[in-house]
Structure 1
Amino acid sequence: MFSKKNSRGPQQVPQKQAAPSILSADLVVNGNLVSEGDMQVDGTVEGDITSKKLTISATAVVRGSIEAEAIVIAGAVTGQVKARHVTLNKTARVIADVVQERLTIEPGAFFEGNCRHFPDQKPTEKRAIERIGAKPELASPAAVSGLKPSASPETKDKESHALA
């Protein structure tokens, strides 16, 4: 009568999500920063930054490479940016090479540099590329599918003349 029975099954303990690491606006860091969690930079960083999710606020200045799953930039970045999803807010000032899967640029953002799409390959494509021993960026769709690429029209003409 007074015993507590759990009709919902075993209790799941919620996993605590760590608060993001925040570098305040008056902080200057000379060196690299690495975090397995989220990070927000409000100050100045002279070095490389690696984290899960990275936010560069409007007051921040970063000189170096930044890499994360998702990066939101509202401040100044000079160097290289690499992430699956990169967002440049309207106050962003980015002079960098950007390697990304998805890029969002708000009107008013300043961006100078090169932009390359990060290859989004399926596991079967990766195995096919490894099997043929090619570099992923050099593998053609025909090579990935295992088919022999068709000859160009010029090659076909040369082959037909050679047979005649």
Structure 2
Amino acid sequence: MAKTNNEVDSQGINLVGKGTRITGDVESDGDIRIDGELNGNLNCSGRVVIGVTGKVTGEVSCKNSEVSGYQKGKLQVEQHLSLKSSSKVYGEVSTGKLSIEPGALFSGSCIMGDQLKHEEAKKLQKA
């Protein structure tokens, strides 16, 4: 179905440019790219890209993610997380699939794949 001029694309790409600093929580229905700084939590139903100059301090929850910059805090990625060679990631990571390029720095814990599903099932049983 074609879009009319009155329809708004709610799944656009959001950009936090280099030199921009945001303090607070961010929610997005679309994709987001961070080349600036975010001090707060990020909840995104799409893809999160943290560029080489990007810095995120806080919890990130998304469908897919590519990190080339700095991220400190809990990182929950539903499908695929890719850590590029320039990335520096500190904290607890949970993801379906993980790829790490040589040179990337990752310090923390990781739950992935079937183990992630098992941990989620244990949480539901306790509830």
For normalisation by structure 1, the TM-score amounts to 0.64
Shift of 1:119: 1.2
- Using the TM superposition, give the Cα deviation of residue 19 of structure 1 relative to its aligned residue in structure 2, in angstroms: 3.2
Aligned length: 114
- 5+ unaligned residues in a row in structure 2: which ranges? none
Give the Cα–Cα distance (whole angstroms) in 2 for the partners of residues 41 and 136 of structure 1.
Answer: 32
**In the alignment, does 2:47 pair up with 1:53?**
yes
Match of 1:89 in 2: 84
Q: Which residue of 1 aligns with 2:117?
A: 119
| Cα shift at 1:102 | 0.4
Amino acid at match of 2:24: G
Structure with the largest fraction of strand: 2
User: 4+ runs of 1 displaced by more than 6 Å?
Assistant: none
> What SS does the aligned partner of 1:119 have?
helix
CA distance in 1, matches of 2:60, 2:111: 15
CA distance in 1 between counterparts of 2:70 and 2:58 reads 11
Which secondary structure state, in structure 1, belongs to the residue aligned with residue 73 of structure 2?
A: strand
| Counterpart in the other structure of 2:21 | 28
Which residue identity does 1:32 align to in structure 2? D
Shift in Å, 1:137:
2.5
Partner of 2:65: 71
| Greater fraction of residues in helix | 1
Identity of aligned residues (%): 23
Give the RMSD, CA atoms, in angstroms: 2.1
| Structure-1 separation of matches of 2:109 and 2:37 | 23
Stretches of structure 1 lacking an aligned partner (at least 5 in a row): 1-11, 121-134, 140-164
- Tell me the CA shift for residue 106 of structure 1: 0.6
Match for residue 121 of structure 2 among 112, 130, 136 = 136
Q: CA deviation at 1:136?
A: 1.2
Higher RCO by CA contacts (8 Å cutoff, separation 6 or greater): 2
Specify the SS of the correspondent of 2:18. Answer: coil
| SS class of match (2:122) | helix
Equivalent AA in structure 1 for residue 40 of structure 2? G
Q: Distance in 2 between matches of 1:28 and 1:106?
A: 28
